[in-house]
Amino acid sequence: MQFVSSFAPGRVELLGNHTDYNGGVVLSAAIDLGVSAQGARRDDGQIVLSSEGIAGVAAACADKLAAQASWADYPLGVAKVLKDAGHPISGFEAVFSSTLPLGAGLSSSAAIEVATAVLLTRLFDLKIAPLDLAKLCRQAENEFVGVSCGLLDQVSSIFGKKDHAIYLDCRAETVTTIPFPHDVGLLIVHSGVKHALTGGEYNERRDQCFAAAKILGVPSLRDATSAQLAASVEMPPLVKRRAAHIVGENERVFTAVDFLKQGDVAAFGRLMSASHRSSIENFENSTLELDALVEIACAQKGVYGARLTGGGFGGAIVALVDLVEIDEIAQAVVAEYLQKTGNKGAAYRCLLGEGALTHS
């Protein structure tokens, strides 16, 4: 039995919260934490999946794949969409392990999907273009798992580049990498409150965004401006706030790209903090714990800005910090967070890392 392996990084969303399914733009980065998979082909047509961090084994027939309402739905969904797309997927077994904190909003789900997809391309000698592979992974999450996510997470995991941010234009489906300043780092702090998008909040926000675009008469909120939104008198106030978040996020991303190219770290950090304020006031996808972490982080010397990362509703924040002070900042934030909230946070110093296809 010949074993092959794969690794897919998680991602941290720097700016562009919930803009992906609105045809917008996003800045993200692959990180050096992620999901590893090791597997081999089987001759009995069975798919057998296990995880080093989760007890039990999931099994399914490669010719009859159905959701099991467990973590195994992510790899099973990838196997199904690859098979439905005409790729010769048959029986295999795989063992997964992860260095990503589950429920932190660092896209462990996409990392599992991408790790599976890359593993299967190596097991079955499949030739699939990187962007097509990302789309197939998204399809698995949309159709098999039932979360209507955009393309950001899968693209970030596949297209990551060391010491670079990823700029994704979701409408044009183009990916560009932008050098990231070397004297700052990313500090990710888990709130201790699990992030989950399989509830109704994500799909509810998505529907509200689509309703706003319809009222404005535009294909998507990517086509709307802040002035146009402010002038709308028929839009319900709640829907208008949701739209204000998306329109503002797109504008912040466009501005942030220029700041990155100029190396203006302080200005980039201010945009991150502005993004979080909009998550509180407009999109209401933050939590009291995330707000406390952002407030504590931004009060530290050497922190340029902070915001929730990922879908929200729990999970983690990302702070842009001076690299030389990152360890001291991490200790201070976690200690003050515990004192103020009683919750035990966990801090992760993350490097901007390579994508799944460049890992052996």
| pTM of this structure | 0.89
pLDDT in tens, 285-303: 999 999 999 999 999 999 9
Indicate the pLDDT class of residue 351, thresholds 50, 70 and 90.
Answer: confident
The Cα-based distances of 43 to 93, 106, 110, 114, 138 in angstroms read: 10, 35, 28, 24, 28
| pLDDT at position 195 over 80 | no
Check: CB of residue 167 under 8 Å from CB of residue 178.
yes
Of residues 155, 153, 147, 194, the one with CA closest to residue 176: 155
Average pLDDT over residues 82-103: 93
Task: Examine the pLDDT at 328 and tell me if it is beyond 90.
Answer: yes
User: For residue 209, is pLDDT > 90?
Assistant: yes
The catalytic position among 153, 169, 264, 322 is: 153
Distance of CA 39 to the CA centre of its chain: 25
For the question of residue 153 being annotated catalytic, the response is yes
Q: Are 22 and 246 in contact (CB under 8 A)?
A: yes
Q: Mind listing the domains of the chain with CATH numbers?
A: 3-178 (3.30.230.10), 179-350 (3.30.70.890)
Residues whose CB is less than 8 angstroms from the CB of residue 264 and which lie 6 or more positions away in sequence, other chains included? none
Separation CA 17–CA 170 (nearest Å)? 12
Give the β-pairing of 92-98 and 46-51.
Answer: parallel
Counting beta carbons within 10 angstroms of the beta carbon of residue 52, is it exposed (0 to 12), middle (13 to 18) or buried (19 or more)?
exposed
Q: Are the beta carbons of 268 and 274 closer than 8 angstroms?
A: no
Whether residue 283 contacts residue 18, with contact meaning beta carbons closer than 8 Å, is answered with yes
Instruction: Give yes or no for a contact between 111 and 98, defined as CB atoms under 8 angstroms apart.
Output: yes
The three-class DSSP label of residue 15 is strand
Amino acid (one-letter) located at 246: I
**Angle of CA points 52, 53, 55, to nearest 5°:** 85
Question: What pLDDT score does 359 carry?
Answer: 67
Confidence of residue 178 (pLDDT cuts 50, 70, 90): very high
- Is the pLDDT confidence value at 228 over 80? yes
Cα–Cα dist 199/183, whole Å: 39
Say what the pLDDT of residue 194 is: 76
Least confident segment among 52-66, 69-83, 168-182: 52-66
210/21: higher pLDDT: 210
Cα distance between residue 99 and residue 97, in whole Å: 7
What's at 277, amino acid-wise? R
Rama region for 100: left / alpha / beta (φ>0; ψ in -120 to 50; rest): beta
- Rounded to a whole number of angstroms, the distance between the first and last alpha carbons of the chain is 19
Q: Answer yes or no: is pLDDT of 197 > 60.
A: no
